[in-house]
Amino acid sequence: MEKEENIKSKQDDKHQQNDSDEVLKEKEVENKEAEISTEDKIKNLEDKLARTFAEMENQRRRFEKEKSEAFEYGGFAFAREALNLIDNLERSKISLENDESLKDNDALKKITEHLEIIYKDMISILKKNNIEEIKSINQKLDPNLHQAMIEIEDDSKEAGTILQVIQKGFTMKDRLLRPSLVGVSKKKVKEDTKDKKNQENQEKTKEK
């Protein structure tokens, strides 16, 4: 009996040992999983922090850029509207000078002189604020600065040369306030070429 009891006791001890080993293994696995889970959480937090800092930096840069542009070009819309005053002054002066009933009139001369003074003062104020008139006459047409409205036949000039300014254009620092509306040169069409084109057009009309 004692032997049997000893055997059972030993078996029970083994089972208990096995059970405790399994429990230890399970705890080790749980601890490892817990460690991995904690590391993942830390990495996720680090990634979120990095993204947050990056977004904050991007916002700061955007704000700085907007602030700089607001300082540099804050009066852009106002400057563009102010150009209408210059246009009206020029139109008024030209209209008065072309009025036959006012020609050779001392009062007209005084008025046009005053208008010219006001015009020059306005141009001076614009220049002080980095608003410059676009050079156009005898310049090559630049699509970034000029807008061609008409073509003028002139063999003495290279095609695309600006011969007339219909409306003056202006820039504000490195930005275009408005383009110059201009007339550009083109080569004269020879009479022979014109006749041929007219004949071709007539023939086409007859065919129709």
pLDDT of the chain, 208 residues: tens digit per residue: 544 555 445 455 555 555 555 655 666 655 555 555 677 777 787 787 778 777 877 777 776 766 666 556 667 788 888 898 889 988 888 888 888 877 777 888 888 888 899 989 989 988 988 899 999 999 999 999 999 999 999 888 899 999 999 999 999 888 899 999 999 999 887 655 555 566 666 666 555 5
* Angstrom distance (rounded) from CA 166 to CA 179: 11
* Angstrom distance (rounded) from CA 79 to CA 175: 12
Kindly report the pTM of this predicted structure. Answer: 0.57
* Angstrom distance (rounded) from CA 22 to CA 140: 91
